[in-house]
Structure 1
Amino acid sequence: MSINATEKPLGKVFTSDYRFVIPSFQRAYTWQTENVEQLVNDLQDACAHPETPYFLGSLILVKDGHGKYQVIDGQQRLISLSIIIAVLRDLEDDPDLIDALSGLILEPGDKLRGIKAEPRLKLRERDAGFFRMYVQEGDLEGLFDLRDNDIASHAQRNIALNTRQVFDMLATMPAKERRRFASYLVNAVTLVIVTTDDLAGAHRIFDVMNMRGVPLTASDVFKARTIAEISSAARNAYATRWDDIMDPLGDDAGTLEEFFSDLHLIVSHKAVCARLLDEFRKDVLKPYAKKHNTIAFIDELLAPYANAWRMLEHPTDTSLPDNVVALLVSLNDYPTTDWKPVAMWALVNSIRNLGDADIRIFAAPGSHTTAHDATGRAETPLQLHDIDRLRGILAALERVTGIDSLNRQSPLARRTRAAGAIRDLDKNRTLQQIRGFLITDEDRRTALAHLRGELQTSPAMKKLLLIRANEQKAGHRITRPRSLKAMPILPEQVGKTSDFAAWSETARDHWTNRIGNLALTQANESQMAPLSAYAQRRDRMLLSASSRRFPLTAELGDIAECTPQTLQCRQDETIRLIADHWNIRYDAEHTDLSALSEEALTVGTAKDSPTSKRVTIKQVLAAGLLIPGETLVWNRPRKGERWIAIVTAEGRLRMDDGKEYGTPTAAARSVGGKSAGLNVWKRTSNGQKLSDVWKAYRLRRR
């Protein structure tokens, strides 16, 4: 068995030297939107320091003798990188850059060298065609036009969701910045390519590489630097003190790095910390060392903030007032953690003794007497002061976190907001004076437009929004069962006997991805999927008493028949409740924004970046890119078929048999099978592909 390992930039990985194949025995593509979001965020942060390469790990490959390499380790990253490149290509308007980006994921072929034109990465057979058509060959418009029931596997659904996520993230970047990001991706992002000609050997390499020694954490490094500055007489005592402070945080390197990054932001007010070891030492440790007061760093900074971190991790175990606990629980609902520095600051500055060695962080269950730690030492309770200000800070923080999450603000924007808030808090400004807590009318309108339209967000965020609405209606925090989910009232598949079959396709399509169609329940997808009648779905949602805690779910018990008007009422009420919860219902002119349509909310806003939101025929008609009554054609000469569709004034496609469809994909699949999509249709007037029309509409504001 021969083994070769070499480090290469991405631009040297996606070349004709490698034809990657995902073997059938490998698992499917499993990365979720949070995984690909983290990758893009990390790359964006790294791009801010272009002189520093970004190492993305290793690929373990088996050469099969035909110029192809089986991917044993690295599939998730290769697919995700291909998605990022495909989105960069779709957002680009420079023909040379489009060709360069396309060449990274599609081998153009070379007859002289015997190289076939094909994708550089081939997925497992079940998903290969889907990935090639929509991502590698660049039919993102077709991908965005798909409905859930158009997608055949979980891997394909992950591909679709992650492509949307990446598009929404990269589309907000200015063109110049996005090109700089693309250049960094190709030239400075590196992988170690480990190749062998033996499959069993490749698996042994994989095992060895994933059982290597544990590297030093940020805590280890900072401990060594700090303790070295302390006098020999106190060194041992403070080495033990450091361990007592940090051990409860655990030994996960990522968690510890996040803690020290947050502590760096709190002290320095800098949103970005690209080189934690260097910048923390310079901005945080060095000032203490200069004053020969390193002990104060441990006692007055590290200890209270480490204890605050622990309280944020387990708020319901603390002895904090119930309304403070409720706010911390709400903050922990968010998949992002950019709110933590501000929450840590608020706790440290509201609890006088949070840095004390004998403080009791968590409530002693069943006891109101003095508690003792494992060594028998008496523990003192939290000494709280100015609880009203603590509640005010946490409430303002939850509000801006929710609105920024709904408006898809970048990590940099969120951390910049946090840094600004702490800077103003350090200056003892009032909540109204803190710029980091400011919500503009445009923020309000954009957030409510997202709520009013199709919800292009994660399942976790959908659940969070419904929790906010239900708790606003209930007037108190509701204890959440672990298995709680946001489930649709409308079934994915509507059978002929279902009462939803009486709805028009347009109505079903309209409500599929809107918040009015969702309810919180302990029922899961496998339990709900076979149920197509409203009464069946309602009763299953209400089966658990825990589900009935939520008033918007419990209301379903009083609804005997579900109509589009039912969902509209639920939609209006839910949006109004969320708007009231975050105090974004009224603008400076006292207009009730929660009552406005999505179109009215977006008029006059400064948002000019495209999103992955599904484009409708009606929108394209309104923009003048299609004309009512014009003819679209799908020619299939090999099959001897020619399909005609007429664009109706109502925003639908009418086929020869008179049936009408709400999307080009649905019309194509009605006659061409499950693999047909938006891009098969062409205008008879000029031969333009419908996918190009859709893309022109999506990018019209650029």
Structure 2
Amino acid sequence: MSVSIHATEKALFKVFSNDFAFSIPAYQRPYAWTKDQAGELLNDLLSFLGDDSEAIADTNSYFLGSIVLIKGEDDPKADVVDGQQRLTTLTILLAVLRSLLSEKNASKMTKYIYQEGDKIEGTSDCYRLKLRERDEDFFRQYIQCETGLDNVLKLDASQLTDSQRNIQENASYFYGELRKLSEQERERFSHYLMTRCFLVLVSTPDIDSAYRIFSILNARGLDLSLSDFLKSEIIGGILSSEQEKYTRIWENEEENLGRETFQELFAHIRMIERKAKLSETALNEFRKYILPKRDPQKFINEIIKPYSDALEIIKTANYYTDNNAKKNINYLFKWLNKIDNIDWIPAAILYFSKNRHTPDKLKSFLIDLERLAAGLMILRADINERIRRYAKLLTAIEKDVNLYSFDSPLQLTPDEINRIIITIDGDLYPIKRIRQYVLLRLDSALSEAEGTYDYPVITVEHVLPQNPSQGSTWLKWFPNDEERLQYVHRIGNLVLLSRKKNAEAQNYDFDKKKKKYFVSNTNIVPFVLTTQVLQQSEWTSAVIEQRQKDCLESLRKIWRL
């Protein structure tokens, strides 16, 4: 069935007019623009406007991007699918201008914020923009109301929600910047803003076509996500008397995780439920296979809430229990979070949700999950291989089968173990995606899990350099190029440093390198692997071979290889 879609470019005086009554749907996230985005917008506008000597001409026009609306052809009511951030910020800007302009000009600015009803035309009083229910009263009282701006600037920010704080900060920023202009400059800016700044309004009568449109438009605002559309459908399927309760649960979980991680949560939910690679749009897969609208309260109570709580603990490595397993569990979460993909997370969420109150079971599972995830990373398993493996593991967790049997998808196969050993016993340094993880994991084991690795920079360095200088001690110890190349890139010849590489220092002779390159400014080496090197008086093939053997044995113990 064809859908009517309209796209028109309009100056702001036509956008904030009786042609539109904008409303932010309940599924939208809170207002999220900070002073960074608001400042960029204002600076752009003032830059395009130019100075007082320049006449405002067509060449000075400024394009504010596109917004997507659900709107009928003859009805001004418009649900904002994409564009909330810009419309809200522009309304704040209009309110600030109104407060700074002369009384005569201020009254003219009010009509862009507030529509006065007309009995002859049959229209009623209304504000041009209606925010979500949770923000609506605050925005109306402190921004849209003519006397509200002075009061919002005096509010205690610590008592405000994130969205209210953003509104306050952006209003304060605009106020401070526009106060620097003269009355004449503010009048000129107001004229430019309303007549030479344009939005493209894309309107469609239903949410499905709106979702497709917003997905392909490169708008300036912060894009909506799958979770925003699901929120609309799921919350909309709950009795109105219960909607506020479940909206608060949803938004509290989003705030606890942060928007980006909350979006990630839905990809993990989809994987837990579908156990397969995405084959169509995520929205369609949720509608067709996961069916959250069938029992929306249950979906929120039994999936959104516990899975969100699990993901927060997994990401922050902040599991709490009364027994000694807490330290080990959080230790394993920290290592899992260093894996170069997130495909292991759905299995962690599902198992954690089922067993969060049995820490010993959690510990055993996470030991083997980190072993599996690290193994697949070392083997450079591609995304399809990882998804197939973790899908089998999700099924095994759901069916409550023995995850520690020989043929369990949680366990590495003999072939995988053999290939992992070959990889870590070979030239590790050229494999950039895994070398640091392997060395840090090894270093942590050697320090008996006492090492900390939260350094801004960690680099992997050679002891025996790749290209030793002529006449150096290195060439006396390794006169044969073939022999040198046999050792240079292997674990036994690698160390970790908590600073950037120094190309010149890499080729120092061994004694000088130990003193000037492998020691930090405070003379405290943060890595056991590096401390071991400092204890050596020479660095020969025999030393590297023994170190290689010891390191490999330690890694085999860590991962039961």
Give 1:417's aligned amino acid. R
Give 1:474's aligned amino acid. S
CA deviations 1:371-427 (Å, max 9, x no partner) are xxxxxxxxxxxxxx2211101111110001111111111111112211211211111
Question: In structure 2, how many angstroms separate the alpha carbons of the residues matched to 1:545 and 1:346?
Answer: 44
CA deviations 1:418-441 (Å, max 9, x no partner) are 121121111122222472212111
Bigger shift: residues 570-579 or 541-550: 541-550
Q: Secondary structure at the match of 1:216?
A: coil
Q: Which residue of 2 aligns with 1:364?
A: none
How far off is 1:573 after superposition? 1.3
CA deviations 1:210-232 (Å, max 9, x no partner) are 76233221110110110111111
Question: In structure 2, how many angstroms separate the alpha carbons of the residues matched to 1:274 and 1:413?
Answer: 19
* C-alpha contact 1:327 1:398 (8 A) present in aligned 2: yes
Question: In structure 2, how many angstroms separate the alpha carbons of the residues matched to 1:396 and 1:223?
Answer: 35
Counterpart pick for 1:283 among 286, 289, 297: 289
Does residue 323 (structure 1) correspond to residue 328 (structure 2)? The answer is: yes
Does residue 236 (structure 1) correspond to residue 213 (structure 2)? The answer is: no
Question: In structure 2, how many angstroms separate the alpha carbons of the residues matched to 1:573 and 1:563?
Answer: 16
Does residue 386 (structure 1) correspond to residue 362 (structure 2)? The answer is: no
Q: Which residue of 2 aligns with 1:223?
A: 231
Does residue 484 (structure 1) correspond to residue 490 (structure 2)? The answer is: no
Question: In structure 1, how many angstroms separate the alpha carbons of the residues matched to 2:362 and 2:221?
Answer: 43
* C-alpha contact 2:235 2:246 (8 A) present in aligned 1: yes
Instruction: Using structure 2 for the length normalisation, give the TM-score.
Output: 0.56
Question: In structure 1, how many angstroms separate the alpha carbons of the residues matched to 2:521 and 2:270?
Answer: 45
Question: What is the aligned length?
Answer: 337
Q: Structure 2 matches for 1:403-442, cutoff 5 A?
A: 403-433=375-405, 435-442=408-415
Distance 1:237 1:547, change over 3 A: same
Q: Secondary structure at the match of 1:520?
A: strand
* C-alpha contact 1:339 1:401 (8 A) present in aligned 2: yes
Counterpart pick for 2:346 among 341, 350, 369: 341
How far off is 1:304 after superposition? 1.2
Does residue 570 (structure 1) correspond to residue 547 (structure 2)? The answer is: yes
Question: In structure 2, how many angstroms separate the alpha carbons of the residues matched to 1:274 and 1:498?
Answer: 61
Distance 1:478 1:281, change over 3 A: farther
Does residue 251 (structure 1) correspond to residue 259 (structure 2)? The answer is: yes
* C-alpha contact 1:493 1:532 (8 A) present in aligned 2: no
Q: Which residue of 2 aligns with 1:493?
A: 467
CA deviations 1:94-152 (Å, max 9, x no partner) are xxxxxxxxxxxxxxxxxxxxxxxxxxxxxxxxxxxxxxxxxxxxxxxxxxxxxxxxxxx
Q: Which residue of 1 aligns with 2:97?
A: none
> Greater helix percent: which structure?
2
* C-alpha contact 2:319 2:326 (8 A) present in aligned 1: no
Distance 1:457 1:408, change over 3 A: farther
Counterpart pick for 1:471 among 427, 444, 447: 444
CA deviations 1:337-374 (Å, max 9, x no partner) are 111111112221223xxxxxxxxxxxxxxxxxxxxxxx
* C-alpha contact 1:547 1:553 (8 A) present in aligned 2: no
Root mean square deviation, CA, Å: 2.4
CA deviations 1:180-218 (Å, max 9, x no partner) are xxxxxxxxxxxxxxxxxxxxxxxxxxxxx9762332211
Q: Secondary structure at the match of 2:409?
A: helix
* C-alpha contact 2:467 2:507 (8 A) present in aligned 1: no
Question: In structure 1, how many angstroms separate the alpha carbons of the residues matched to 2:434 and 2:524?
Answer: 18
How far off is 1:490 after superposition? 2.1
Q: Which residue of 1 aligns with 2:312?
A: 310
Q: Which runs of 5+ in 1 are unaligned?
A: 1-208, 352-384, 585-702
* C-alpha contact 1:522 1:541 (8 A) present in aligned 2: no
How far off is 1:530 after superposition? 5.4
Give 1:420's aligned amino acid. K
Instruction: Using structure 1 for the length normalisation, give the TM-score.
Output: 0.45
CA deviations 1:255-274 (Å, max 9, x no partner) are 54432121111123334454
Give 2:344's aligned amino acid. W
Distance 1:246 1:546, change over 3 A: farther
* C-alpha contact 1:459 1:486 (8 A) present in aligned 2: no
Give 1:454's aligned amino acid. D
Q: Secondary structure at the match of 2:560?
A: coil
Q: Which runs of 5+ in 2 are unaligned?
A: 1-216
Q: Secondary structure at the match of 2:461?
A: strand
Give 2:496's aligned amino acid. L
Distance 1:547 1:516, change over 3 A: farther
Give 1:558's aligned amino acid. Q
Q: Structure 2 matches for 1:544-623, cutoff 5 A?
A: 548-584=525-561
Question: In structure 1, how many angstroms separate the alpha carbons of the residues matched to 2:273 and 2:232?
Answer: 20
Q: Secondary structure at the match of 2:496?
A: strand
Question: In structure 1, how many angstroms separate the alpha carbons of the residues matched to 2:370 and 2:226?
Answer: 29
Q: Which residue of 2 aligns with 1:369?
A: none
Q: Secondary structure at the match of 1:537?
A: helix
Distance 1:550 1:260, change over 3 A: same
How far off is 1:479 after superposition? 1.4
* C-alpha contact 2:315 2:333 (8 A) present in aligned 1: no
* C-alpha contact 2:430 2:489 (8 A) present in aligned 1: no
Q: Structure 2 matches for 1:65-214, cutoff 5 A?
A: 212-214=220-222
Question: In structure 1, how many angstroms separate the alpha carbons of the residues matched to 2:507 and 2:318?
Answer: 37
Distance 1:471 1:215, change over 3 A: closer
How far off is 1:298 after superposition? 0.7
* C-alpha contact 1:311 1:318 (8 A) present in aligned 2: no
Question: In structure 2, how many angstroms separate the alpha carbons of the residues matched to 1:510 and 1:457?
Answer: 13
Question: In structure 1, how many angstroms separate the alpha carbons of the residues matched to 2:240 and 2:534?
Answer: 71
Question: In structure 1, how many angstroms separate the alpha carbons of the residues matched to 2:305 and 2:316?
Answer: 17
Q: Structure 2 matches for 1:259-274, cutoff 5 A?
A: 259-274=265-280
How far off is 1:279 after superposition? 0.7
Q: Secondary structure at the match of 1:486?
A: strand
Question: In structure 2, how many angstroms separate the alpha carbons of the residues matched to 1:455 and 1:551?
Answer: 19
Q: Structure 2 matches for 1:652-671, cutoff 5 A?
A: none
Q: Which residue of 1 aligns with 2:150?
A: none
Q: Which residue of 2 aligns with 1:82?
A: none
Distance 1:567 1:323, change over 3 A: same
Give 1:489's aligned amino acid. V
Question: In structure 1, how many angstroms separate the alpha carbons of the residues matched to 2:274 and 2:227?
Answer: 18
Distance 1:245 1:428, change over 3 A: same
How far off is 1:547 after superposition? 6.5
Give 1:508's aligned amino acid. R
* C-alpha contact 1:342 1:418 (8 A) present in aligned 2: yes
Question: In structure 1, how many angstroms separate the alpha carbons of the residues matched to 2:523 and 2:424?
Answer: 26
- State the identity %: 22
Distance 1:451 1:495, change over 3 A: same
How far off is 1:512 after superposition? 2.8
Distance 1:424 1:463, change over 3 A: same
Q: Secondary structure at the match of 1:432?
A: coil
Distance 1:447 1:544, change over 3 A: farther
Q: Which residue of 1 aligns with 2:170?
A: none
Does residue 332 (structure 1) correspond to residue 337 (structure 2)? The answer is: yes
* C-alpha contact 2:253 2:308 (8 A) present in aligned 1: yes
How far off is 1:460 after superposition? 5.1
Does residue 520 (structure 1) correspond to residue 496 (structure 2)? The answer is: yes
Bigger shift: residues 235-244 or 429-438: 429-438
